[in-house]
Structure 1
């Protein structure tokens, strides 16, 4: 294939790039060039706090789905959450990601209190929430309390595919609307999808990319689908590692300004997955700050890495591995700059040729 400008990718071009392993090396080379032109070798770290594995939803692929009766449930209390943030701050984290299932035991006031307290103690930090679908009024309350970012992966942009992997009680339309509500309120918004989820076609992934073009997110998180033994999809094949890397590169080329994590799922499916994710164009890592006694219980998928590492051990190990891969962890919030976005779009750094 003669590579063309990323902004000129046709659907058929994207299907070809997505479907063929032969493009991995060339895509990664070009994506890395783009990320280095914008971000240099900087890698931003976000301290992940998985604060609850209760969830009201029953997604067929997820280990913390409400129908899973084999999982031990937990919730972090206010003091535990604040302590995780304090530990993370000492280790150099300047963004905290509060992630959990859609646990309605945490009312809006509870989330706002947590956000306000972390911001009071660590005023120079950003707070990212990943709490799933809530009302627009709830999102606005979180934003007014001081939350800066919100992660909500759309998971799939094909309505028919959505209902193959989610129960009918859930709403394809509402999930998408939540993302636009978050943008309207003022959040830095992150979307994303699974690669290789059951019944997914390459054309579905193109639809995911087109939806992201419509959304214009600040962050995009993707990872390979990995099965979980207590779900209806326990015998389904895992997503492709190489295809996931290609899509990381394609995302960097299509969204040069975005913050793109090398996800834990990548590191789970391949021991060097996070390093290869960085080489493919990613520039964010999200090490776990949750108490080690809870980490195995946040079992979205099987064989998740780093469930036994202390926060300091995980931070030290990551720093060495990132440096060995040719990049550098930086202590910074890592906000997406409008100036950088303007520069990229006007100067054509996303060109493939």
Structure 2
């Protein structure tokens, strides 16, 4: 079947996955207000295109965290990707490599980080703060030794939000899917009514990150440090002052605090507040190339794409993830040209308007 947009791959993935695994991928926390708001916020933003411009030499290539990428896109960290396809993270990382975009290895990957990094391309490593600080910093060292190009420190998960779909399903990892980067014991596999075993496991393992945690990670590595999960202007300024090379404006896809503002709604003021002192990326709600252009117009240097990449993985493995990235490339080039932009940085000169529709 020909997939003409990401929604086509979303439908294919939903058909391919068991119901409780689809819920684990697609669900949000609480009443899923923030999950829905992420898309609604994008749909309220309209661009003001410019006309009569020479589009010769247009390019989607960008520099992200000191490296070149074919698109202003990185594959976001997503846990336990062998839930969605037997090759899991290896298939997704190969697709990102071949598409010329960074791939973010999750701390909770179901394949050891060294094996994923060995795929090549531009691997980044995503870090959660653990109760065992020594083991946490060992993960940073392993990532650096494996050739990762950045540390993406997720700061909005002291514990998992109440994801009611998983709780109603009594969701637990199947035996063949494990937290491959450390010994998770049996907690994530223990099924019980009304309990998410994955959330139970993370409650045992995770701790609340603080600015002292950021300092500890910063002192432990020479890699660029990116803080993921920033929504407040004050936190963005402090992150830049603490030496972060970048921040990811994100409400964790609506999976942590239900009612947290969509990242796209605060992106512009955050980008203005840090004023080039660190890179600003956006995560959450990206469903097409036009969304990437909107994010760029509001000041993002790149976006992270998580769920759509996993739709591709579930639908067709490595080829499916590559198809997602190729569709984003086609849509972004189309949107840029129709808006009168020859480069992603040029999009920052586009006007935006907020509509009551959507």
Q: TM-score, normalised by structure 1?
A: 0.50
The corresponding residue for 1:215 is: 242
Match runs of 1:97-246 below 5 Å = 97-100=103-106, 102-103=107-108, 106=111, 110-115=112-117, 117-119=118-120, 125-133=121-129, 135-155=136-156, 170-173=206-209, 176-177=212-213, 180-195=216-231, 205-223=232-250, 227=254, 236=259, 238-239=261-262, 241-246=264-269
Q: In 2 relative to 1, CA 295–96 (structure 1 residues): closer, same or farther, beyond 3 Å?
A: farther
Runs of 4+ in structure 1 displaced over 6 angstroms? 162-169, 306-309
The separation in 1 between residues aligned to 2:114 and 2:137, in whole angstroms, is: 14
Matched, 1:258 2:285: no
* Partner-residue secondary structure (3-state), 2:281: coil
Unaligned runs of 5+ in 2: 1-58, 64-71, 130-134, 163-201, 346-358
Cα distance 1:258–1:320, how it changes in 2: closer, same or farther (>3 A)?
Answer: farther
Q: CA deviation at 1:307?
A: 9.8
Residue 190 (structure 1) shift: 0.3
Aligned length: 228
Deviation at 1:319, TM superposition (A): 2.6
CA distance in 1, matches of 2:222, 2:253: 33
Contact 2:93 2:116 in 1 (8 A): no
- Tell me the distance in 1 between the aligned counterparts of 2:92 and 2:161: 33
Shift of 1:187: 1.4
Unaligned runs of 5+ in 1: 1-39, 55-72, 120-124, 157-161, 196-204, 297-305, 331-353
Query: Taking structure 1 as reference, are residues 319 and 42 closer, same or farther at Cα in structure 2, changes over 3 Å only?
Result: same
Secondary structure of the equivalent of 2:125? strand
Per-residue CA distance 1:280-303 (angstroms, 9 max, x = gap): 22211345683535569xxxxxxx
TM-score by length of 2: 0.50
Q: CA RMSD in A?
A: 4.3
Give SS of 2:293's match: helix
Instruction: Find the aligned partners of 2:314 and 2:230 in 1 and give their Cα distance.
Output: 21
Q: 1: CA distance between counterparts of 2:138 and 2:268?
A: 37
Match of 2:79 in 1: 52
SS in 2 for 1:138: helix
Q: Contact 1:223–1:244 (CA<8 Å) still a contact in 2?
A: no
Aligned pair 1:85/2:93, yes or no?
Answer: yes
The structural deviation recorded for 1:225 is 6.7
